[in-house]
Amino acid sequence: MQKLIVITGVSRGLGLAMTEQFIAAGHTVLGCARSTRAVKEQCARFGSPHDFAVVDVAEQQQVQAWAERLLANYGPPDLLINNAGVINALAPLWQVPAQEFDRVIEVNIKGVMNVIRSFVPAMIAKRSGIIVNFSSGWGRSTSPQVGPYCASKWAIEGLTRSLAQELPSGMAAVPLNPGIIHTQMLEICFGTEAAAYTSLKDWGVKAVPFLLKLKPKDNGMPLTVTA
């Protein structure tokens, strides 16, 4: 059965890997990213019925306008994936500049909340749909020099589990640890050692079927992508 899937942060990394695999599996993807160039490339590459837009999830008005257009043209999504995220440059917490800390919080927490606020009411009205908020291993553990990122992902764990308690039956909200994948973000943390971890293509091949199998019974469960 074809699903309608909304994904944030589709220009690269996990977002792009999911987009490619969902479309290959016959599903419709509605995605956003901040990069105008990347969005133009995806529109040209994938075409209709898929839809890609330039949106900064940290900006509520942009997210609301995007959601209103998609909901009017496509209806509520079956699967809403909050993937967009940023990480701080490695540094002890007291050395992280205020502007950098604010950006991590704005994208990783407020961005997720903006998307939830804009899409979830329509999903609730339909009483169906799965909401997946990407967490991290650092949303359930900690490491030095990534304090702002850890804080943001621990927040996502709590926010999502609380949301799960508010949803009607037939829906689910899941905080998802995608695992350790070789992305540009991982290279910031691990340097050249990042290449030893799962490739984006291999991750996408196992993550997309995992996501498609999520059901209302998974509501509130802190899950991790597995084969």
Let me know: does 13 contact 199? Beta carbons within 8 Å: no
Tokens representing residue 42 in the block: 């995806």
Catalytic, out of 149, 155, 171, 214: 149
Q: Which residues are CB-contacts of 2 (< 8 A; sequence separation ≥ 6)? A: 26, 27, 28
Mean pLDDT by 10 residues, the chain (227 residues): 96 95 98 97 96 98 98 98 96 98 98 98 98 96 96 98 98 93 63 72 92 98 88
> What is the DSSP track for 56-79?
-TT-HHHHHHHHHHHHHHH-S-SE
Structural domain count of the chain: 1
**Is the backbone of residue 113 left (phi > 0), alpha (psi -120 to 50) or beta?**
alpha
- Tell me the sheet residues that pair with 173: 131
pLDDT given for residue 125 in this prediction: 98
Q: What is the CATH number of the domain that holds 146?
A: 3.40.50.720
pLDDT given for residue 184 in this prediction: 67
The string of pLDDT tens digits covering residues 52-99 is 999 999 999 999 999 999 999 999 999 999 999 999 999 999 999 999
Asked if 197 is an active-site residue, the reply is no
Q: Domain residues for 43?
A: 4-224
Q: Which residues are CB-contacts of 106 (< 8 A; sequence separation ≥ 6)? A: 58
